[in-house]
Chain A
Amino acid sequence: MANETGIGAAVKRKEDARFITGTGRYTDDIGAHGQTYAVFARSPHARAKLNGLDASAALATEGVVAVFTGADLQADGIGDLPCGWTVHSKDGEPMVVPAHPPIAVDKVNYVGEPYAVVIGESLEAAKNGAEALEADFEELPAVVDLASAASADQIHENVPNNQTYDWELGDKAATDAAFAQAHHVSSLEIVNNRLIPNAIEPRAALGEYDAASGLYTLHTTSQNPHLERLVLAAFVQIAPEARLRVISPDVGGGFGSKIFVYAEETAVIWAAGKLRRPVKWRAERSESFLADAHGRDHVTKAELALAEDGTFLGLRVKTLANMGAYLSTFASSVPTYLYGTLMAGQYKTPAIYVEVQSLFTNTAPVDAYRGAGRPEATYVVERIVETAAREMGIDAAELRRRNFIAPSDFPYETPVALTYDTGDYEASLAKALEHADYAGFGARKAASEAAGKKRGIGFSCYIEACGLAPSQVAISLGAGVGLFEVGEVRVDVTGSVTVVTGSHSHGQSHETTFAQIISEKLGVPFENVTVLHGDTGRSDYALGTYGSRSLAVGGSALIKAIDKIIAKGKKIAAHMLEAQEEQVDFADGTFTVADSNQSLTFPEVAFAAYVPANYPLEELEPGLSEKAFYDPPNFTYPAGAHICEVEIDPATGVVDITSFVAVDDFGHIVNPMIVEGQVHGGLAQGIGQALLEHGVYDETGQLVSGSYMDYTMPRADDLPSFTVDTTVTPCTHNPLGVKGCGEAGAIGSTAAVMNAVTNALGVASVPMPATPETVWRAAQA
């Protein structure tokens, strides 16, 4: 009998009970007795010297408790916000890192950078105080344009040419040689637009300090509270980890933007200690736009060399990546190891050379946003492949097929440092073509044309490296932290189970899927499993949620802990049943002795472990609680085929997505309902990037798309219903055979949409996002 709440079942979510009744508990829903309110004074200038700050009027404002400046934090020994991944330039030198004080000290470098924090008895008082601050700014010319940033004014004293590093990957000589013998070379200039993550819950923090114990507690909207704690302890130096507890309660979406350690929670927890009063901060959306780390923002030139039959010979990519004004927590890794390493895509391109120059500008810091590097890589590869197909007159699906890495090629070592373990790209594409009715496209196009519309179809066969880990690989490439995960299974006396995981759920549904794994493996009723996460006071150190890693790494750690529980349970059962340990089997929640009718239920064994009357105490500790750390040997490689069909109204430039098909290979799936949901959400963000979303700074560095009045979020009426399907090649190296599904939608879809738009218009490229005016202009040409 299949377990109806086990692995593979579309179990309804445990989380929903509270969310649909309004009883979720997000950071801003939590208050502390006697709390004060923090408001950050933010620079209105993109670049300026801060020659002075007169806080006297602010301090005299009714209800203002304190005003703290960057100098106050420095005087208290508060350190800079670090970047956790050291990338080396071509010449072997480590990246150049500018100082990044949480609160600006004598200069500001982007609009929205905090230069003081005002604490008030009420939010209104703190706002009044912030307005009463008199800052003496001396404006300097802002560096905004990425393409010319290297030759613009130097933003940071220690960073010549505004360049943090000039990185390369791949074999330049071999790639040049490949191009020398090419029959055809396609080239493309690409701008990957800046995105603003916009989790619907704005960031928030509540800092508390208990003078009696010296313990700091920070409630905040973090995807990885342990990382937050580590940085606050080791770099910012608030307090040792043991006196610092970070809790991420319900978090309303992250998409990467809540991985990072920001100025605000740093200042809030510090101020709570300073004032010995709780301090609360919640971003207004206008602040989120300015001060959350943004995503993407590349300028790229890509060239693909092909043989006469369409075989890929070489790929050359040169990218400028915008870091914004400072290096955010993982910013350096995004356009390098999460980007350049994916340039092989699903293809056997033998020679690849990637160069990335990462530059500072006077804009908000740019860091990982859903997909992080892999959407950018997919966009480059899949746009240039589609371009080559069109230029060579080869069907776009066929050209891909000719170059796919075949199932027999695995494990496959790419020229850009990855070893793919498994996959079947042809299978996904075939299924997608069928769903998309590719054969019927011509007739649909003709019908559109008859109605004065332009119809196009576009493909994207993406691959990603996720399940982020393995630690040793990441550390050898510059990561400053390990990337393992922890899983703990606490079997209760009565046999119910509490799982504690270091992964954090902010939409991903860990409370459900992790309970399914327990239900499947231990036979414990689904409703008797509780999953705890998001609290450094509860779980061991682990790295949290990003890079589609929760199930592949955190779930695998859980499996290892479950294995330990079963092993110990067998020992206990063997003792109780007076059998040899090797004779005991465990399945469907029951320990049985082979070739006998003797058995014990899982709760019976658990009870015996905690009430050890009949128990081998001399050999075995009492209790039934195990944890395991898991560090995988390789990344996982989800891949898939996305096909987008659009119809364009050439009179207005409006692009209508008439169908979107995504066929993904995530390996084994624990909960297909949840996986589909993850894909839907990713697709919406990828489509949003292609057609709607754009973080726009004007030439003086003002963010002019700084609210929902101008930043176009995908809405229900902007999107179609999606056709989503899967193929399965199980991951070969983790115990669940899972690959991760959180980012795939955002990674694959953007290129498919833009390939469809350019196909419809019959042009080589259209700037992204393909807004109505952009498309209208292209349609006029």
Chain B
Amino acid sequence: MEQSGEYTVSASRERVWEALNDPEVLERCVEGCRSMTVTGEGEFEAVVAAKVGPVKATFTAAIELQDVVAPESYRLQVGVKGGAAGFAKGSAAVQLAECSRDETRLTYHIEGSIGGKLAQIGSRLVQAAARKMAASFFERFAVDIGRSQGV
């Protein structure tokens, strides 16, 4: 499963970069996120209550920032364990480009896969659900950062 997207965020690239590395911001932007804990340098653990239709499960996600080129790009590596539901893993390559002093273009490219029961019986929904989750995160992120900038 692969997917790309692009957002223009009303904030400077430095500000966007900071936010992208701020566990509190990340916690606010992941739908259903119950907690986001720093577990190491560029490493977080998130507990997320995810809901896709009738499917409702609490996942633990290990997040690691890789290939960090501040303040331009990183790769967000995510591994999710969902107990009986299965697992998911993926990475989001995020790039920031300066449009102007207070406008930044964020582009992302996501690759991911799921396994276990979700893959076995829910394959028809995987792509749509992944698209929704990615869009939800970056939309929330764009709004969040806009709000923090007083936009």
* Contact between A707 and B121, CB atoms less than 8 A apart: yes
* Contact between B117 and A702, CB atoms less than 8 A apart: no
A355 to chain B minimum Cβ distance, whole angstroms, is 35
* Contact between A698 and B113, CB atoms less than 8 A apart: yes
Please report the C-alpha to C-alpha distance between residue A286 and residue B119 in the assembled complex, in whole angstroms. 11
* Contact between B121 and A702, CB atoms less than 8 A apart: no
* Contact between A44 and B115, CB atoms less than 8 A apart: yes
Interface residues of B in 78-122 (CB under 8 A from A): 83-84, 86-87, 113-117, 119-121
Residue B124 at the chain A interface, CB threshold 8 Å: yes
- In the A-B complex, the 9 residue pairs with the smallest Cβ-Cβ separation, listed nearest first, are A706-B120, A44-B116, A702-B119, A704-B123, A707-B121, A700-B113, A44-B115, A702-B115, A131-B84
In terms of DSSP, what is the predominant structure of the interface of chain A?
loop
* Contact between B119 and A131, CB atoms less than 8 A apart: no
Q: Which residue of B lies closest to A45 (CB)?
A: B115
Residue A85 at the chain B interface, CB threshold 8 Å: no
Please report the C-alpha to C-alpha distance between residue A704 and residue B124 in the assembled complex, in whole angstroms. 9
Report the interface size for chain B: residues with CB under 8 A from the other chain.
14
Residue A731 at the chain B interface, CB threshold 8 Å: no
Q: Which residue of A lies closest to B81 (CB)?
A: A44
Please report the C-alpha to C-alpha distance between residue A119 and residue B123 in the assembled complex, in whole angstroms. 30
B103 to chain A minimum Cβ distance, whole angstroms, is 38
Interface residues of A in 684-729 (CB under 8 A from B): 698-700, 702-707, 709-710
* Contact between B113 and A709, CB atoms less than 8 A apart: no
Chain A: residues with CB nearer than 8 A to chain B? 44-46, 111, 131, 286, 289-290, 698-700, 702-707, 709-710
Q: Which residue of B lies closest to A137 (CB)?
A: B87
Please indicate the chain B residues that have their CB under 8 angstroms from the CB of A703 in the complex.
119-120
Please report the C-alpha to C-alpha distance between residue A45 and residue B83 in the assembled complex, in whole angstroms. 13
Please indicate the chain B residues that have their CB under 8 angstroms from the CB of A286 in the complex.
117, 120-121
A704 touches which one: B84, B86, B119 (CB < 8 A)? B119
Please report the C-alpha to C-alpha distance between residue A101 and residue B115 in the assembled complex, in whole angstroms. 23
Please indicate the chain B residues that have their CB under 8 angstroms from the CB of A46 in the complex.
115
Please indicate the chain B residues that have their CB under 8 angstroms from the CB of A699 in the complex.
113
Please indicate the chain A residues that have their CB under 8 angstroms from the CB of B124 in the complex.
709-710
Please report the C-alpha to C-alpha distance between residue A131 and residue B84 in the assembled complex, in whole angstroms. 6
Please report the C-alpha to C-alpha distance between residue A608 and residue B117 in the assembled complex, in whole angstroms. 65
Q: Which residue of B lies closest to A699 (CB)?
A: B113
* Contact between B120 and A704, CB atoms less than 8 A apart: yes
Please indicate the chain B residues that have their CB under 8 angstroms from the CB of A705 in the complex.
123
Please indicate the chain B residues that have their CB under 8 angstroms from the CB of A702 in the complex.
113-116, 119-120
Please indicate the chain B residues that have their CB under 8 angstroms from the CB of A111 in the complex.
115-116, 120
A533 to chain B minimum Cβ distance, whole angstroms, is 35
Please indicate the chain A residues that have their CB under 8 angstroms from the CB of B114 in the complex.
702
* Contact between A709 and B121, CB atoms less than 8 A apart: yes
Residue picked from B86, B115, B116, B120, most chain A C-beta under 10 Å: B120
* Contact between A706 and B115, CB atoms less than 8 A apart: no
Q: Which residue of B lies closest to A706 (CB)?
A: B120
Please report the C-alpha to C-alpha distance between residue A290 and residue B121 in the assembled complex, in whole angstroms. 11
Please indicate the chain B residues that have their CB under 8 angstroms from the CB of A290 in the complex.
120
13 A-B residue pairs with Cβ-Cβ distance under 8 Å, sorted by A, are: A44-B116, A46-B115, A131-B83, A289-B120, A698-B113, A698-B119, A700-B113, A702-B115, A702-B119, A702-B120, A703-B119, A706-B121, A709-B124
Please report the C-alpha to C-alpha distance between residue A452 and residue B125 in the assembled complex, in whole angstroms. 34
Q: Which residue of A lies closest to B83 (CB)?
A: A131
Please indicate the chain A residues that have their CB under 8 angstroms from the CB of B123 in the complex.
698, 704-706, 710
Please indicate the chain A residues that have their CB under 8 angstroms from the CB of B116 in the complex.
44, 111, 702
* Contact between B121 and A44, CB atoms less than 8 A apart: no
Please indicate the chain A residues that have their CB under 8 angstroms from the CB of B83 in the complex.
131
* Contact between A44 and B113, CB atoms less than 8 A apart: no
Please report the C-alpha to C-alpha distance between residue A779 and residue B18 in the assembled complex, in whole angstroms. 53
A666 to chain B minimum Cβ distance, whole angstroms, is 39
Besides A44-B116, A290-B120, A706-B119, 14 more A-B contacts (Cβ < 8 Å) are A44-B86, A44-B115, A131-B84, A286-B120, A699-B113, A702-B113, A702-B115, A702-B119, A702-B120, A703-B120, A704-B123, A706-B120, A706-B121, A710-B124
B68 to chain A minimum Cβ distance, whole angstroms, is 24
Please report the C-alpha to C-alpha distance between residue A420 and residue B108 in the assembled complex, in whole angstroms. 64
Interface residues of B in 19-36 (CB under 8 A from A): none
Please report the C-alpha to C-alpha distance between residue A705 and residue B120 in the assembled complex, in whole angstroms. 6
Please report the C-alpha to C-alpha distance between residue A707 and residue B115 in the assembled complex, in whole angstroms. 14
Q: Which residue of A lies closest to B85 (CB)?
A: A44
B90 to chain A minimum Cβ distance, whole angstroms, is 11
Residue picked from B83, B114, B115, most chain A C-beta under 10 Å: B115
Please report the C-alpha to C-alpha distance between residue A46 and residue B119 in the assembled complex, in whole angstroms. 12
Please report the C-alpha to C-alpha distance between residue A289 and residue B119 in the assembled complex, in whole angstroms. 13
B117 to chain A minimum Cβ distance, whole angstroms, is 7
A1 to chain B minimum Cβ distance, whole angstroms, is 58
Please indicate the chain A residues that have their CB under 8 angstroms from the CB of B113 in the complex.
698-700, 702
Please indicate the chain B residues that have their CB under 8 angstroms from the CB of A131 in the complex.
83-84
Please report the C-alpha to C-alpha distance between residue A290 and residue B120 in the assembled complex, in whole angstroms. 9
Q: Which residue of A lies closest to B126 (CB)?
A: A704
Please indicate the chain A residues that have their CB under 8 angstroms from the CB of B121 in the complex.
286, 706-707, 709-710
Please report the C-alpha to C-alpha distance between residue A704 and residue B121 in the assembled complex, in whole angstroms. 7
Please report the C-alpha to C-alpha distance between residue A286 and residue B116 in the assembled complex, in whole angstroms. 11
Please indicate the chain A residues that have their CB under 8 angstroms from the CB of B115 in the complex.
44-46, 111, 700, 702
Please indicate the chain B residues that have their CB under 8 angstroms from the CB of A706 in the complex.
119-121, 123
Please report the C-alpha to C-alpha distance between residue A707 and residue B124 in the assembled complex, in whole angstroms. 11
B134 to chain A minimum Cβ distance, whole angstroms, is 19
Please report the C-alpha to C-alpha distance between residue A111 and residue B87 in the assembled complex, in whole angstroms. 12
B65 to chain A minimum Cβ distance, whole angstroms, is 20
Please report the C-alpha to C-alpha distance between residue A44 and residue B119 in the assembled complex, in whole angstroms. 10
* Contact between B120 and A707, CB atoms less than 8 A apart: yes
Q: Which residue of B lies closest to A704 (CB)?
A: B123
Please indicate the chain B residues that have their CB under 8 angstroms from the CB of A700 in the complex.
113, 115
B56 to chain A minimum Cβ distance, whole angstroms, is 16
Please report the C-alpha to C-alpha distance between residue A436 and residue B22 in the assembled complex, in whole angstroms. 72
Q: Which residue of B lies closest to A289 (CB)?
A: B120
Please report the C-alpha to C-alpha distance between residue A286 and residue B113 in the assembled complex, in whole angstroms. 20
Please indicate the chain A residues that have their CB under 8 angstroms from the CB of B87 in the complex.
44
Please indicate the chain B residues that have their CB under 8 angstroms from the CB of A709 in the complex.
121, 124
Please indicate the chain B residues that have their CB under 8 angstroms from the CB of A710 in the complex.
121, 123-124
Please report the C-alpha to C-alpha distance between residue A700 and residue B86 in the assembled complex, in whole angstroms. 14
Please report the C-alpha to C-alpha distance between residue A175 and residue B61 in the assembled complex, in whole angstroms. 59
Q: Which residue of B lies closest to A290 (CB)?
A: B120
Q: Which residue of A lies closest to B113 (CB)?
A: A700
Please report the C-alpha to C-alpha distance between residue A705 and residue B123 in the assembled complex, in whole angstroms. 8
Please report the C-alpha to C-alpha distance between residue A166 and residue B106 in the assembled complex, in whole angstroms. 53
Residue picked from B86, B113, B123, most chain A C-beta under 10 Å: B123
B48 to chain A minimum Cβ distance, whole angstroms, is 18
Please report the C-alpha to C-alpha distance between residue A698 and residue B119 in the assembled complex, in whole angstroms. 9
Please report the C-alpha to C-alpha distance between residue A709 and residue B84 in the assembled complex, in whole angstroms. 19
Q: Which residue of B lies closest to A46 (CB)?
A: B115
Please report the C-alpha to C-alpha distance between residue A699 and residue B84 in the assembled complex, in whole angstroms. 22
Please indicate the chain A residues that have their CB under 8 angstroms from the CB of B117 in the complex.
44, 286
Please indicate the chain B residues that have their CB under 8 angstroms from the CB of A704 in the complex.
119-120, 123
Residue picked from A289, A703, A704, A707, most chain B C-beta under 10 Å: A704
A773 to chain B minimum Cβ distance, whole angstroms, is 14
Please report the C-alpha to C-alpha distance between residue A131 and residue B81 in the assembled complex, in whole angstroms. 12
Residue picked from B83, B84, B113, B119, most chain A C-beta under 10 Å: B119
Please report the C-alpha to C-alpha distance between residue A46 and residue B87 in the assembled complex, in whole angstroms. 12
Please report the C-alpha to C-alpha distance between residue A498 and residue B118 in the assembled complex, in whole angstroms. 51
Please indicate the chain B residues that have their CB under 8 angstroms from the CB of A289 in the complex.
120
Please report the C-alpha to C-alpha distance between residue A45 and residue B79 in the assembled complex, in whole angstroms. 13
Please report the C-alpha to C-alpha distance between residue A290 and residue B114 in the assembled complex, in whole angstroms. 16
Please indicate the chain B residues that have their CB under 8 angstroms from the CB of A707 in the complex.
120-121
Please report the C-alpha to C-alpha distance between residue A699 and residue B1 in the assembled complex, in whole angstroms. 10
Q: Which residue of B lies closest to A112 (CB)?
A: B120
Please report the C-alpha to C-alpha distance between residue A706 and residue B123 in the assembled complex, in whole angstroms. 9
Q: Which residue of B lies closest to A696 (CB)?
A: B123
Q: Which residue of A lies closest to B117 (CB)?
A: A286
A255 to chain B minimum Cβ distance, whole angstroms, is 21
Please report the C-alpha to C-alpha distance between residue A286 and residue B87 in the assembled complex, in whole angstroms. 17
